[in-house]
Amino acid sequence: MKYSKIQTGCIDGFKVENILVEIDINSRSTQQTFKIVGMPSTSVLESEKRVLSAIRNTGFSIPNGSIVANLSPTSMKKEGSHFDLPIAISLLEASRQIKELDKNYFIFGELGLNGEVRPVHGIALFLMFIKELNKEAKFIIPKGNQEESAFVSKKDVLVIENLRDIESISLGIIDKFEPFYERSNEIFYDIDFQEIRGQIFAKRAVEIAASGFHNVLMKGTPGSGKTMIAKRVPTILPDMTREEIIESTMLYSVAGYMNFIVNRRPFRSPHHTASSASIIGGGAIPKPGEISLAHNGVLFMDEFPEYRADVIEALRQPLEDGEVVVTRAKSVAKFPAKFMLIASQNPCPCGYYGDKEIECTCSMNQIVNYNKKISGPIMDRIDIRIDVPRVKIEELMSKEEGESSKKIKERVSKTAQIQIRRQGKLNGKLSNKELKKVANLTDKAENFLKQASMNLKLTARSVNRIIKISRTIADSFESRNIEINHVSEALNYRGTR
């Protein structure tokens, strides 16, 4: 019998299914054929040509007879070009051209016609997922993907550049693996908070938002610096934890980013004309969208009311659960999507309502409608809402530098630590029930809030949001209780709706 099997995998949403590649060669058959079965998609069927050429062009030979490659389990549709290498290696084993490999190897790689092994999508997910379930697992991956193995022990991974090398690997001659990923302790950005002139109020609001991972809506005339502020938020967020780095790297890997280690908080800003699939996630083979690429970082939605209504509504579930469920005809995929939403908008369609110098040309109706475009359930998830007016020209020209991102980040990290220690998560992610347990409003603060909510006709929901923000403000002062001054500051960030 000329038979061999090699393990590999297939991506299914944010999971990996183990796939067994089996090769059977019937050398008594007078026909020379090669067939791939086991629900291969068209992309996998193309493998056939690449595998045969690569084998021929690397000095190996194509065995006589009829060859069948089976991808098991056959119930699952197989996608991707990474089956080339396991199929080719299995074929070489079955025809005894190489020594059998250790059966704990999981193999991934696309082949060029010349035998070159090319990088593929999803390696970070394959490695982390398979290793989690199978401690014995070892891997052979394309050299072009090697950085994605940063989180797996070096001794379990071999990189390969050309199919030719499989012979030396099978003989145990190649077994070295170069270290390549050292996490630098300091992350550098080429932008900094200190470049923002004035905007003391907005900067403080955004610092509080960052400290508790609260969502923010900034309203202001064009050119007031909203985009500038949003872009700098990742520079003040705490460093990513190892778990966060791994999870984000896996998401980027599935999305098709190769050799990309996400070691700084992502900042994503999809345009409002982008498709729902690209923002939320989707496609025939479900792929993560922008909201998942923003996982552990910032999702900036500029001109918020301009996004398609279905896109805005689809944000509701991720804003609540920190993950998104993408449903397609035959599959359901769940991707993490825990991001800090920073939305910005003009105060009205023309942009200048409330501006001190330029006159607004909108009717009252237009202004009201524009501001109503975002539905209540979405607005409910935006804790901090502020006006960002344009700064005066003198202020813009001033040489006086503000505080550096580094300094603000230290405070933010400290405030975040307090929350994690107390409740295992940041205040922005607390449910109302959880918030009640940790709020600790002093009697005075509670009375003050009651009075304020009557005077300002606040809804129960906005009162909850104010308590949540007050909690983060109190934490920023390392105060166990929420005092009057914390509530009073929080009231400034409640917006008009």
Ligand X SMILES: Nc1ncnc2c1ncn2[C@@H]1O[C@H](COP(=O)(O)OP(=O)(O)O)[C@@H](O)[C@H]1O
Query: Where do contacts with Mg ion occur on this chain (CB under 5 A)?
Result: 227
Q: Least distance from C-beta 223 to Mg ion, angstroms?
A: 8
Binding residue for ligand X, selected from 112, 222, 349, 495, defined by CB under 6 A: 222
Binding-site partner at residue 20 among Mg ion, ligand X, none, CB < 5 to 8 Å by type: none
Is 105:138 a contact under the CB 8 Å cutoff? yes
Q: Least distance from C-beta 381 to Mg ion, angstroms?
A: 22
Euclidean distance between CA atoms 77 and 240, whole angstroms: 35
Binding-site partner at residue 391 among Mg ion, ligand X, none, CB < 5 to 8 Å by type: ligand X
Binding-residue total with ligand X (CB under 6 A): 14
Q: Least distance from C-beta 182 to ligand X, angstroms?
A: 35
Most distant pair of Cα atoms in the chain: their distance: 93
Binding-site partner at residue 7 among ligand X, Mg ion, none, CB < 5 to 8 Å by type: none
Binding-site partner at residue 196 among Mg ion, ligand X, none, CB < 5 to 8 Å by type: ligand X
Question: Which conformational region is residue 65 in: left (phi greater than 0), alpha (psi within -120 to 50 degrees), or beta?
Answer: left
Is 98:124 a contact under the CB 8 Å cutoff? no
> Strand 216-219's sheet: what is its strand order?
267-268, 298-301, 340-345, 216-219, 384-387
Look up residue 54 and give its two tokens.
Answer: 């690569």
Residue nearest to ligand X according to CB distances in the complex = 225
Binding-site partner at residue 225 among Mg ion, ligand X, none, CB < 5 to 8 Å by type: ligand X
Q: Least distance from C-beta 408 to ligand X, angstroms?
A: 15
373-376: long-range pairs with CB below 8 Å, 24+: 373/305, 373/309, 374/304, 374/305, 374/312, 374/343, 375/312, 375/313
* Contact between 297 and ligand X per CB under 6 A: no
- Give bridge partners of residue 20 from the DSSP assignment: 7, 72
Euclidean distance between CA atoms 274 and 230, whole angstroms: 19
Binding residue for ligand X, selected from 63, 122, 225, 234, defined by CB under 6 A: 225
Look up residue 356 and give its two tokens.
Answer: 């001190």
Closer by beta carbon to Mg ion, 38 or else 234: 234
Binding residue for ligand X, selected from 109, 220, 281, 336, defined by CB under 6 A: 220
Residues 358-397 that bind ligand X (CB under 6 A): 391, 396
Is 317:324 a contact under the CB 8 Å cutoff? yes
Binding-site partner at residue 197 among Mg ion, ligand X, none, CB < 5 to 8 Å by type: ligand X
Euclidean distance between CA atoms 276 and 326, whole angstroms: 11
Residues 183-202 that bind ligand X (CB under 6 A): 196-199
Binding residue for ligand X, selected from 226, 268, 295, 468, defined by CB under 6 A: 226
CA-wise closest residue to 287 among 125, 110, 145, 86: 125
Closer by beta carbon to ligand X, 262 or else 374: 374
- The CB density around residue 363, as the number of other CB atoms within 10 Å, is 11
Euclidean distance between CA atoms 438 and 379, whole angstroms: 23
Q: Least distance from C-beta 346 to ligand X, angstroms?
A: 8
Could you give the residue ranges of the DSSP H alpha helices within 240-315? 242-254, 276-280, 290-293, 309-314
Q: Least distance from C-beta 364 to ligand X, angstroms?
A: 23
Euclidean distance between CA atoms 367 and 17, whole angstroms: 52
Q: Least distance from C-beta 442 to ligand X, angstroms?
A: 36
* Contact between 235 and ligand X per CB under 6 A: no
* Contact between 45 and ligand X per CB under 6 A: no
Q: Least distance from C-beta 355 to ligand X, angstroms?
A: 12
Is 308:271 a contact under the CB 8 Å cutoff? no
Q: Least distance from C-beta 242 to ligand X, angstroms?
A: 33
What's CA 481's distance to the chain center, in Å? Answer: 35
Look up residue 405 and give its two tokens.
Answer: 């991102």
Q: Calculate the alpha carbon distances from 221 to 288, 358, 363 in Å.
A: 33, 10, 16
Closer by beta carbon to ligand X, 218 or else 261: 218
Binding residue for ligand X, selected from 39, 45, 174, 228, defined by CB under 6 A: 228
Q: Least distance from C-beta 303 to Mg ion, angstroms?
A: 8
What's CA 269's distance to the chain center, in Å? Answer: 12
Q: Which stretch binds ligand X (CB under 6 A): 51-59, 109-117, 226-234, 406-414?
A: 226-234
Closer by beta carbon to ligand X, 200 or else 332: 200
* Contact between 224 and ligand X per CB under 6 A: yes
Q: Least distance from C-beta 402 to ligand X, angstroms?
A: 9
Contact map string, positions 393 to 412, toward ligand X, x by CB under 6 A: ---x----------------
Q: Which residues bind ligand X (CB under 6 A)?
A: 196-199, 220, 222-228, 391, 396
